[in-house]
């Protein structure tokens, strides 16, 4: 049986979603859960580029390594994913629109639905236009939430 595919999606796939991909992999490894974890962006601006240098630096400072190259989500990617995690409401709307336009049934959820500290705010803030502190905040938030997501997958609740 193939490993469940978990797809993290943000706007350009250079900040939030590659961080989520790395954090989900870390949590899956720590918890011994076999998952196929990927990330993509709704836009094509950064396709082929590595994660943002500020994001890589913030993640590295906290012991998390970002890797890979930006990719853009498409209908085939949505169809093959068991769980699609949108980083914010705008990404969620784009993903739902892509799925509807292409007749794809996909399990698309907001990433922070599973953050015990979300406090009603379900968007992972986009640190792209900010400084390093925003990147660090995203790494902490995404790591915490990733662990919870993997726990829920492992328990069969998700």
Residues noted as catalytic = 10, 16, 126
State whether the Cα torsion 100-15-65-111 is positive or negative.
Answer: negative
Distances (CA, A) of 83 to 64, 78, 98, 127, 151: 22, 9, 15, 24, 14
User: Cα–Cα distance between 36 and 3 in angstroms, integer?
Assistant: 6
User: Cα–Cα distance between 132 and 38 in angstroms, integer?
Assistant: 24
């Amino acid at each position: 049986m193939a490993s469940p595919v978990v797809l993290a999606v943000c706007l350009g796939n250079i900040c939030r979603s590659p961080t989520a991909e790395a954090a989900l992999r870390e949590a899956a490894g720590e918890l011994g859960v076999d998952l196929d974890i990927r990330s993509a962006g709704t836009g094509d601006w950064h396709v082929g580029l590595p994660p943002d240098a500020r994001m890589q630096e913030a993640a590295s400072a906290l012991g998390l390594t970002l890797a890979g190259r930006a990719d853009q989500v498409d209908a085939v990617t949505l169809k093959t994913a068991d769980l699609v995690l949108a980083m914010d409401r705008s990404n969620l709307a784009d993903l739902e629109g892509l799925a509807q336009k292409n007749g794809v049934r996909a399990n698309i959820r907001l990433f922070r639905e599973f953050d015990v500290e979300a406090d009603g705010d379900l968007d992972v803030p986009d640190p792209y236009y900010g400084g390093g502190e925003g990147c660090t905040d995203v790494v902490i938030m995404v790591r915490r939430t990733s662990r919870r997501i993997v726990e829920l997958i492992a328990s069969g609740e998700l």
